[in-house]
Structure 1
Amino acid sequence: MKLLRSARFPAILLLIAAAAGLIIANSPVGHDVLEFSHAHLAVPGTAIDLSLTHWVSDGLLVFFFFVVSVELQFELTRGELRSARRALQPALAAAGGVIVPIAIYLVLTAGSGFQKGWPVPTATDIAFALGVLAVFGRSLPSGVRIFLLALAIIDDVVGIVFIAVLFATDLNFGMLAAGLLTTVLFGILSRMLHTRVRGLVIAGLVVLAVLTWSFILLSGVHATIAGVLLGLAMAQTPALVTRHAMEPWVNAVVLPLFAFTAALVPIPDFSGPGQAVFWGILIALPVGKIVGIAGFGWIGQRLVGSPDHPKLALGDLVAVGALGGIGFTVSLLLANLAFAAEPVVRDKAVLGVLAGSVISAIVAAILLTARVRHHRRAGTAVEEPAA
């Protein structure tokens, strides 16, 4: 379990799972595996009927978003985002890391008819980015990791908003209201875990969580939002305990399975439609994130800097920007949502995410290694034990 809680190993698992999905999809058994992934599995007596792929992206991925939202709740109340002043610098950097990739994507896809994919290159994969940082930047000052974590959490909030607002379809307000009601009841019940009927409370929480997911799914809002709502609603102490218990399973099962199914795409004919989507995402992720995060972060430090938060050197900001270009999990989800009705274009978008994320990871590794050497020469490196 300790290995699965480390920053490095989950990132390696994600990369292996995505590579396996891409290789299998383009192997002799690829067609059969794709057919199997599209097989439907319904819940008897309900309107829930999802393909196996959607059971992963709409079902299992909820656990990942729950873990992320619990971390967000902690950061907003007791962590680096607990005050506007603390949050402003990473928020400005995150804004740059969203605005610049969108601008690059829109320029590169102008006139193609596929501009709707602009949210895809805006995301940062926390697990993958921290994994690369742990491998190549372990000796960097702690401020670099704190800044990256705060930025990535804000970035995830943006991604969550995009998923909730842009990709809601045929809204059923009755189901949405029911989901919000069960979320409130879940939050109230989570504050009763200290009572003598703890077992009954836990059972009630499980039932309410399943109901919330079901209602949100049937409301037309993407089901992963249920994980966000439940993570924010749960009382903080039991939420942190639950997050700690779920983290190894999310890292070992949920994220690799999603990476595998999301990357399960045959390499398309690039002479067809969607070339601009591939290149737009491929360039917007590494270039857009580096320019946006480093540029806006540098400006933010000079506009709202404080003695409590030492300024990061521009070189460190550029390295963080490269890490921000590792879109992976949320970007893959956004790619699948943005082009759900156009499988060929969706596949090119997925390949763009994978290629852009790998390029960002390689660039980040090079920059982090250089920054570690710089800080060692300057005497500002901090040697930490291996994760």
Structure 2
Amino acid sequence: MTLLRSARFPAVLLLAAAACGLLLANTPAADAAFAVQHVHLGIPGTPFWLDVGEWIADGLLAVFFFVVAVELQFELTAGELRSARRAVLPAIAAAGGVIVPIALYLVVAVPGDAAAGWPVPTATDIAFALGVLAVFGKGLPSGLRVFLLALAILDDIIGIVFIAVLFAHDVQFGMLVVGVVLVAVFGVLSRMLGGRGSRTIAVVMVVVAVAAWAAVLASGVHATIAGVMLGLAIAQRPGLRARHALEPWVNGLILPVFALSAALVAIPSVGGGLSAAFWGILIALPVGKIVGIAGAGWIAQRALRVPAASRLAMGDLVAAGALGGIGFTVSLLLANLAFAATPLVGDEAVLGVLGGSVISLVLAAVVVSWRARHHRRAAA
């Protein structure tokens, strides 16, 4: 379990799972893999009747977003983002890391049928970014780590907003209200833990959480939003305990399974000239994130009159930008949602996410290693 709580091993596992999915989809076993992905499981006629791919993207990933939301709640109330002053610099850098990739993507993809993919290159994978930082960043100043963590969390907030606002279809507001009420009940119950009957309350909380997820799914809003709402609603202490308990499962099972499923893309099916979606994402993730984050961070430090001794050097900002270009989990989800109506373009978008993330990963490894050596020499 300790290995699965580390920053390095889960990142390697996630990359290996994505590679396995891509390889599997291009072997003689591909038909069997795709068939398994479309097998329906659950209770027919209810929100619990989904195929395997949907259970992974809508169900398992909701647990991942619950864990992320618990961390977000902690950072907003007791962590690095607890004051507006602390959050301003990474917030401006995060805004640059969203706006510039969108602009680059649209330059490449418009006009055409790929314009819907503009949210895809805006995300940062926290697990991967921190994993690369842990592997190559020995000796980096703590300020850069804090900056990157805040940046990645703010990126997640933006991704969550995109999912909630852009990819809700035929919303059933009655079911959405039911889901919100159940989330509120879940939050109230979490504040009753610690006294008599805590075990019974915990069991009821799990039932309420599953019911809230089903209600949000039935409402037409993407079900991962239920995980976000539950993570923000839970009381902090039981939330952190739940996060600690779920972290190995998220790192060791949920994220690798999602990466494997999302990367099941048959390359021959997207041959014959890749679409603008592929090229837009491939360029926007590594280039857009570096230019956007480093440029906005540099401008923000001067506009906010951050003392010279406390500023991040341009090299450190470039390292943060390269790490920010590792999209993977949330970018893969956004690609699947953005091109749900055009599966072929969606497959190309997934390849763009994988390619752009790998390029960013390599760039980040090089730049972070360089900056770490620089800071070690300076410290010596």
Query: How many Å separate the matches in 1 of 2:324 and 2:13?
Result: 19
Look up the match of 2:75: 75
Within 1, Cα distance between the matches of 2:42 and 2:340?
20
The answer for the alignment partner of 1:117 in structure 2 is 117
* Segments of 4+ moved more than 3 angstroms: 305-309
Q: Deviations over 1:269-300 (max 9, x none)?
A: 3335x611000000000000000000001111
- The answer on whether the counterparts of 1:8 and 1:132 sit within 8 Å (CA) in structure 2 is yes
Q: Which residue of 1 aligns with 2:145?
A: 145
The one-letter amino acid of 2:282's match is L
**Distance across 2 between alignment mates of 1:178 and 1:165:** 18
CA deviation map 1:132-164 (0-9, x unaligned): 010011210111111000000000000000000
Q: Is the 8 A contact 2:124 2:156 kept in 1?
A: yes
Which residue matches 2:356?
356
Specify the code of the residue in structure 2 equivalent to 1:70.
V
2:203 aligns to what?
203
Shift of 1:48: 3.2
What do the CA deviations read for 1:180-213 (whole angstroms, capped 9, x no partner)? Answer: 0000000001000012011111011011100110
- 1:383 match: none
Q: Distance in 1 between matches of 2:45 and 2:96?
A: 47
Q: Distance in 2 between matches of 1:364 and 1:228?
A: 29
Q: Which residue of 1 aligns with 2:316?
A: 316
SS in 1 for 2:265: coil
Cα gap change, 1:248 to 1:309, in 2 (>3 Å): farther
Would you say the 8 A contact 2:47–2:214 is kept in 1? no
In structure 1, distance between residues paired with 2:139 and 2:375: 8
Does the 8 Å CA contact 1:89/1:305 hold for their aligned counterparts? no
> Would you say the 8 A contact 2:278–2:348 is kept in 1?
yes
> Corresponding residue for 1:62?
62
Q: Contact conserved, 1:48 with 1:218, CA < 8 A, in 2?
A: no
8 Å contact kept, 2:139–2:373: no
* 1:326 partner letter: I
Partner Cα separation in structure 2 for residue 108 and residue 312 of structure 1: 31
Match status 1:347 vs 2:351: no
- Quote the residue 2:103 is aligned against: 103
Give the TM-score normalised by the residue count of structure 2: 0.97
How far the C-alpha of 1:38 sits from its partner, in A, is 1.1
1:299 aligns with 2:271: no
Q: For residues 47-88 of structure 1, what are the alpha-carbon distances to aligned partners after superposition, in whole Å with 9 as ceiling and x for unaligned?
A: 432110110010001111001000100000011111111100
**Does the 8 Å contact 2:64/2:250 carry over to 1?**
yes
Deviation of 1:17 after TM superposition, in Å, equals 0.2
1:8 alignment counterpart: 8
Q: Indicate the SS of the match to 2:110.
A: coil
Structure 2 gap ranges (5+) = none
Name whichever of 283-292 and 310-319 sits farther off. 310-319
Q: Following the alignment from structure 2 to structure 1, what is the Cα–Cα distance between the partners of residues 261 and 243?
A: 24
In structure 2, the residue matched to 1:271 is: 272
The 8 Å contact of residues 121 and 285 in structure 1, kept in 2 or not, is answered as yes
Shift of 1:121: 0.2
- The one-letter code matched in structure 1 to 2:222 is H
- Residue of structure 2 in register with 1:334 after alignment: 334
Distance in 1 between residues matched to 2:64 and 2:355, nearest whole Å: 23
Deviation of the 1:308 alpha carbon: 11
Q: Offset of 1:41 from its aligned partner?
A: 1.6
Contact 1:124 1:330 (C-alpha < 8 Å) held by counterparts: yes
RMSD: 1.3
Whichever residue aligns with residue 3 of structure 2, its letter is: L
Q: Structure 1's 136 and 201: CA in aligned 2 closer, same or farther, altered over 3 A?
A: same
For the 8 Å contact 2:213–2:223, the answer to whether it is kept is: yes
Q: TM-score, normalised by structure 1?
A: 0.96
Change (3 A) 1:76 1:308: farther
User: Offset of 1:42 from its aligned partner?
Assistant: 3.1
* Cα shift at 1:44: 4.5
Whole-angstrom CA distance in 2 between matches of 1:84 and 1:370: 32
Structure 1's unaligned 5+ residue stretches are 381-387
SS at match of 1:326: coil
Contact (CA 8 Å) 1:186, 1:234: kept in 2 or not?
yes
* Partner residue in 1 for 2:373: 373
Question: Relative to structure 2, which stretch is displaced further, 47-56 or 58-67?
Answer: 47-56
Distance 1:32 1:107 in 2: 38
Partners of 2:243 and 2:220 in 1: how far apart? 27
Aligned residue runs from structure 1 range 162-173, under 5 A: 162-173=162-173
Kindly indicate whether the alpha-carbon contact (under 8 Å) linking 2:132 and 2:361 is maintained by their aligned counterparts in 1: yes
CA deviation vs aligned residue, 1:328-369 (integer Å, no higher than 9, x gap) = 000000000000111110100000000000000000001011
Q: In the alignment, what sits opposite 1:24?
A: 24
- Equivalent pair of 2:59/2:224 in contact (CA under 8 Å): yes
Equivalents in 1 of 2:106, 2:117: separation in Å? Answer: 9
Give aligned-pair identity as a percent.
65
- Which moved further from structure 2: 296-305 or 333-342? 296-305
Aligned residues: 379
SS, match of residue 341 in structure 1: coil
Distance in 2 between the 1:269 and 1:346 partners?
A: 10
Counterpart CA distance in 1 for 2:290 and 2:75 is: 24
- Residue 135 (structure 1) aligns with: 135
